[in-house]
């Protein structure tokens, strides 16, 4: 693998048609022509088009100033390129924490309780948790077009291409625990699941293997995220500010604690909350807290040889997500409060 160049910040949201009047203390819109006020989600579909879920306070609904719940309205919009007009696909979209596209380019959306599928202009509720069934924390699509979903729930859900729903629990399968924190599906269609403080589960067809602190060297700490690199190594993000382990690597046989060093041997601090892999690069996002609240983040990349810290992103704002755009040779980084940044890959 070659040693890659550091990130180059092209500009905050080259999507912009005009941003002079934007409030950078708020979650940015991409332009005044974009519906809504807050960017909740961004994805790129199989045809390379941009999709956005945005929201704003629903002023048509009256509520008391002391109410703990503020009514909001969500929009689903599409943009074919960085300079094309926005197309509002749904002016009353469902509340969505995450959207993905399946192999047929159908859009799926989820929030903590419900999973939806959108085909054409029709959006359909596919799965809804009851009040006692916990919350969804993730979903993903595998190479066979199955949707896998879980979180702080009563088990792991699988939705096949015919919309049949199967629930795996500790009672009817090799699932070690009902609660999970994250999922990753690798290039070989292996499904890796971070169990809630119980190691990592690997599903390869009908073969389920559970790596836990008793039978392996995997950490006993909570695992926040996981991904695999170009060499099929598994990486897991873990830790808190006061814990010694925040990043581990698994080569299929051995677990190794990794302490990234950058900028004259500075060591990464904080909990690794998000991990991504694209091409020959690993992207590591660590967060630090102060008085139990978010303090700052760091984004590092690893090319197989050296670690590089991104110095363009604001450290005092959280990173919500990263979208890898191979078609445009770009990485889109959605922050919590300062909009979307674009970097060269």
The answer for residues whose C-beta is within 8 angstroms of residue 322's C-beta and 6 or more apart is 274, 276, 283, 285, 331, 332, 333, 334
Specify the residue for token string 């699941």: 193
User: Under DSSP, is residue 56 helix (H, G, I), strand (E, B) or coil?
Assistant: strand
Q: What is the pLDDT of residue 31?
A: 61
Q: What is the mean pLDDT of residues 217-238?
A: 95
Q: What is the pLDDT of residue 2?
A: 33
- Lookup: tokens for 132: 């006692």
Portion of the chain with pLDDT greater than 90, in percent: 64
Q: What is the mean pLDDT of residues 92-117?
A: 97
Q: What is the pLDDT of residue 337?
A: 84
Q: What is the mean pLDDT of residues 270-295?
A: 88
Specify the residue for token string 């450290």: 315
Least confident of 30-34, 112-116, 273-277, 333-337: 30-34
- Show the CA angle centred on residue 337, arms to residues 68 and 92, nearest 5°: 60
- Lookup: tokens for 135: 């919350």
- Per DSSP, which regions of 83-220 are E strands? 87-93, 98-101, 107-110, 114-119, 122-128, 134-141, 147-153, 156-159, 165-168, 180-185, 191-195, 200-204, 207-211
Portion of the chain with pLDDT greater than 70, in percent: 90
What's the pLDDT tens digit per position in 108-151? 999 999 999 999 899 999 999 998 889 999 999 999 999 999 99
- Lookup: tokens for 305: 């040889």
Q: What is the pTM of this model?
A: 0.88
Count of positions (residues) in the chain: 345
Please choose, from the candidates 120, 121, 103, 99, the residue with its C-alpha nearest in 3D space to the C-alpha of residue 111.
Answer: 99
Domains recognised in the chain with CATH numbers: 98-216 (2.130.10.10)
């Amino acid at each position: 693998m070659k040693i890659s160049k550091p990130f180059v910040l092209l500009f905050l949201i080259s999507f912009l048609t005009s941003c002079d009047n934007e409030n950078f203390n708020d979650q940015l819109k991409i332009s005044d022509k974009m519906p809504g006020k807050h960017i909740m989600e961004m994805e790129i579909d199989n045809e390379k088009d941009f999709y956005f879920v945005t929201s704003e306070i629903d002023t048509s609904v009256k509520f008391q100033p002391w109410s703990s719940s503020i009514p909001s309205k969500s929009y689903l919009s599409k943009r074919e390129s960085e300079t094309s007009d926005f197309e509002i696909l749904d002016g009353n979209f469902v509340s969505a924490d995450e959207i993905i596209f399946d192999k047929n380019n159908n859009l799926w959306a989820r929030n903590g309780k419900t999973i939806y599928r959108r085909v054409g202009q029709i959006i359909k509720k596919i799965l809804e948790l009851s009040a006692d069934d916990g919350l969804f924390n993730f979903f993903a699509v595998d190479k066979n077009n199955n949707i896998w979903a879980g979180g702080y729930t009563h088990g792991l859900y699988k939705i096949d291409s015919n919309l049949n729903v199967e629930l795996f629990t500790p009672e009817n399968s090799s699932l070690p625990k009902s609660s999970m924190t994250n999922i990753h599906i690798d290039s070989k269609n292996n499904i890796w699941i971070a169990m809630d403080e119980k190691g990592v589960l690997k599903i390869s067809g009908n073969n389920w293997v559970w790596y836990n602190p008793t039978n392996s060297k995997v950490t006993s700490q909570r695992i926040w995220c996981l991904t695999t690199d170009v060499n099929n190594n598994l990486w897991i993000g873990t830790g808190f500010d006061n814990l010694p382990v925040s990043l581990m690597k698994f080569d299929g046989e051995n677990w190794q604690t990794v302490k990234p060093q950058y900028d004259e041997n500075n060591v990464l601090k904080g909990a690794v909350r998000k991990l991504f892999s694209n091409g020959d690069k690993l992207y590591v996002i660590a967060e630090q807290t102060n008085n139990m609240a978010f303090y700052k983040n760091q984004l590092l990349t690893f090319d197989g040889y050296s670690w590089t810290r991104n110095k363009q992103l604001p450290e005092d704002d959280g990173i919500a997500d990263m979208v890898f755009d191979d078609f445009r040779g770009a990485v889109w980084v959605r922050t919590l409060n300062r909009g979307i940044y674009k970097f060269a890959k």
